[in-house]
Amino acid sequence: MKRNWPFYWISQVNGRYVQVLERRLKPIGLDMPRWRVLMSLYEDGYLSVSEIAEFSVLKLNTTTKIVQRMIADGLVTTRQGVADGRVTEVTLTKAGEKLRHHALAEAEKILTSSFVNITPEELTTLNTLLEKVFIQLAGA
């Protein structure tokens, strides 16, 4: 039955991916929570801590602690929210951007090797299906 259960494969693939990525990130001084924060920040200049938590699939208090550690490490800086002064907004420093770039290169290597026998069309279909499941789960 488990081989016919999509969530079995989703969790297996995610678990394996995390194992491989953690192995690649450790030598550059990153763990998965910091990786998630770095990846959530790369497209936007500033994101609120709650937006980072949502993108990173982390709890808000966990994200706050990670951001505080990353401030201490010189990887991010914060400011008071422009639209709402109660909000803390986060952005990468030059050191954070450099580390993000290096970490993303490692992730790209994993992506390339993982999907070597999958066509671009199949990858598009996979992404489309997973997005549909994700949206459906929001209403479950």
| Domains recognised in the chain with CATH numbers | 2-138 (1.10.10.10)
pTM of the model: 0.85
Query: Two tokens at 116?
Result: 């070597």
Q: Residue 90, CB half-sphere, CA atoms under 13 Å: how many?
A: 28
Tell me if residue 87 falls in helix, strand or coil: coil
> Looking at this protein, which amino acid is placed at residue 139?
G
Of 94, 109, 18, the C-alpha closest to 26 is 18
Tokens of 139: 């209403």
Distance CA 54, CA 49 (A): 9
Per-residue confidence of the chain (140 residues) as pLDDT tens digits?
Answer: 578 889 999 999 999 999 999 999 999 999 999 999 999 997 668 999 999 999 999 999 999 999 999 999 999 999 999 888 899 999 999 999 999 999 999 999 999 999 999 999 999 999 999 999 999 998 87
